[in-house]
Amino acid sequence: MEINYDTGKIVVAGGRRLSGTVRISGAKNAALVLICAATMATEPVILENVPDISDIHVLVRILSEIGLEVSWPAPGTLAVCATTAPQLPPPYQLVKKLRASNLLLGPLLARFGQAQVSLPGGCNIGVRPMDLHFKGLAALGADIRMEKGTVLASAGRLRGARIYLDFPSVGATENIMMAACLAEGQTILENVAKEPEIVDLANFLNCLGARVRGAGTDVIKIEGTDRLGGCLRYNVIPDRIEAGTYMIAAAATRGSVHLSGVISRHLEPLCAKLREAGVSVTEDEESVLVEGGGNYRPIDIKTLPYPGFPTDLQSQMMAFLSTVPGISLITENIFENRYRVADELARMGARIKVEGRLAVIEGVPALQGTQVRASDLRAGAALIIAGLMAQGRTEIYNPGYIFRGYHDIIGKLRALGAEISFQDE
Ligand code: EPZ
């Protein structure tokens, strides 16, 4: 029987220190874009370390609905074979569930000369326009039109161009980079996003036979090619946001947690902030040990594009800082509406004042368990951390948001000693 995660609740009994080892899964935000990029390959592609989360399953369903061959030869291993032209448009009922389906725009346009994706519209964390995507693809020669909430893109052979991004958007960098791989001539993309997921995408594209240079720096150069081949084994990078979530949970419960299967370099912005707050963090290349306890200090956080502090860990840090004595400050520079969790934390006794992009957090001695509601993926993760810290029992509604981006979070937390369960209603 299929469980409907939108109706159930997650129940957490707080007050236990987390301890033990947790293995980190493949990165949601890398796997999603790699699966989209795989639609440009003219031969089969096998991706490994693909996380078992609902966002991935929605994307896989979209690909099979538009007539592409997708299968799971083994758990965590996804095979994609895009030898036939897709039947567009993808079903609205599916694309409206997954904003990241807009990452199909560049690949389908470049490979098949046309693409249709649903204009995602805003979500709970912000307006999130796609103007930078459209500007970049138009610079490559695409014709982009909107019709009844659908983006219709078409082009003959795309042509390389020099493109400057007004903001280092992750999605726009990814869409333009993918499209430019099949354009004629060279593309120079400036002021681009430098996130590890961008570097993973460039490595994957080069595995398919593309010529992408400079990913991870401010300027990416792409020499276009006529076709991309296949790739029979590509490992998705570990999820730095999932890892960060467990690190913050370890600090918040004053526990001791060892994370394996990470790339600790990707976690530097968080390690620095946890240390500043008085948490002990020990790293080696592929693992991190977080040991909580002692006197914590208030800190200031500003979210920024990578390598700045990631916005996707901001809510989780807010939960942690809600019981750190003193005044901590958070400035959210990426999304204009990413403080909705503050109201739910206030229901648990937190003292947080939000003014525009600034949140002022006055640490309280303890949180109290109660009923709260997740408004998005990372807010949901923050409420789990708050529940683990709180006195008593916390019930978290809208758990579907959390299962979108965390592989087996209940099982992993239980293995670390948490008292947590999912209750279907
Ligand atoms: C990616 O979203 C991630 N999603 C987000 O993770 C993450 O928060 C975000 O990057 C920032 O790191 C995926 O990779 C699937 P952006 P994306 O384009 O690509 C503005 C999570 O929790 N902007 O870098 O949509 C935009 O409104 C999710 O896993 C424009 O103005 O982010 C935002 O304010 C949430 N015009 C800012 O840039 C554009 O054309 C950053 O957006 C594009 C973006």
DSSP output for 209-234: T-EEE-BTBSEEEEE--S-B--EEEE
Q: Average pLDDT over the chain, rounded to whole?
A: 95
User: Which neighbouring-strand residues pair with 71?
Assistant: 79
Question: Where does the pLDDT of residue 243 fall: very low under 50, low under 70, confident under 90, or very high at 90 and above?
Answer: very high
How confident is the model at residue 83, as a pLDDT?
Answer: 84
pTM: 0.97
Ligand 1 within 6 A of 242 CB?
Answer: no
Question: Where does the pLDDT of residue 4 fall: very low under 50, low under 70, confident under 90, or very high at 90 and above?
Answer: low
How confident is the model at residue 96, as a pLDDT?
Answer: 87
Q: What percent of the chain has pLDDT over 70?
A: 98
Task: Measure 377 CA to ligand 1 centroid, in angstroms.
Answer: 14
Write the CA distances from 319 to 108, 228, 379, integer angstroms: 40, 45, 9
> Which ligand 1 atom is nearest residue 171's CA?
19
Task: Measure 218 CA to ligand 1 centroid, in angstroms.
Answer: 17
**Whole-angstrom distance, CA of residue 31 vs CA of residue 259:** 20
Question: Where does the pLDDT of residue 122 fall: very low under 50, low under 70, confident under 90, or very high at 90 and above?
Answer: low
Mean pLDDT of 6-24: 95
How confident is the model at residue 7, as a pLDDT?
Answer: 82
What does the block give as tokens for 61?
């369903």
What pLDDT, in 10s, does the model give residues 388-419? Answer: 999 999 999 999 999 999 999 999 999 999 99
Query: Which protein residue has the closest C-alpha to ligand 1 atom 22?
Result: 312
Ligand 1 within 6 A of 169 CB?
Answer: yes
What are the two backbone dihedrals, phi and then psi, of residue 249, each rounded to the nearest 5 degrees?
-65, -40
pLDDT at 225 over 50: yes
Query: Which protein residue has the closest C-alpha to ligand 1 atom 30?
Result: 129
Ligand 1 within 6 A of 126 CB?
Answer: yes
Ligand 1 within 6 A of 377 CB?
Answer: yes
Question: Where does the pLDDT of residue 5 fall: very low under 50, low under 70, confident under 90, or very high at 90 and above?
Answer: low
How confident is the model at residue 203, as a pLDDT?
Answer: 98
Question: Where does the pLDDT of residue 85 fall: very low under 50, low under 70, confident under 90, or very high at 90 and above?
Answer: confident
Residue 399 DSSP SS3: coil
CA 160 to chain centroid: 29
Which of 29, 124, 127 should be mutated for ligand 1, with most atoms under 8 A from CB? 29
Instruction: State the sign of the Cα–Cα–Cα–Cα dihedral 304, 308, 313, 317.
Output: negative
Active centre residues (catalytic): 123
How confident is the model at residue 97, as a pLDDT?
Answer: 87
What are the two backbone dihedrals, phi and then psi, of residue 271, each rounded to the nearest 5 degrees?
-55, -45
Query: Which protein residue has the closest C-alpha to ligand 1 atom 16?
Result: 169
Ligand 1 within 6 A of 121 CB?
Answer: no
Question: Where does the pLDDT of residue 338 fall: very low under 50, low under 70, confident under 90, or very high at 90 and above?
Answer: very high
Query: Which protein residue has the closest C-alpha to ligand 1 atom 21?
Result: 312
**Whole-angstrom distance, CA of residue 145 vs CA of residue 122:** 19
pLDDT at 242 over 60: yes
> Which ligand 1 atom is nearest residue 169's CA?
24
**Whole-angstrom distance, CA of residue 132 vs CA of residue 50:** 28
pLDDT at 45 over 50: yes
Task: Measure 18 CA to ligand 1 centroid, in angstroms.
Answer: 31
Please give the single-letter amino acid code of residue 200.
D
Running DSSP on this structure, what letter comes out for residue 26?
B
DSSP 314-357: HHHHHHHHTTSSSEEEEE--S-TT--THHHHHHHTT-EEEEETT
Task: Measure 409 CA to ligand 1 centroid, in angstroms.
Answer: 24
Mean pLDDT of 239-259: 98
Query: Which protein residue has the closest C-alpha to ligand 1 atom 32?
Result: 170
Q: What percent of the chain has pLDDT over 90?
A: 89
How confident is the model at residue 1, as a pLDDT?
Answer: 47
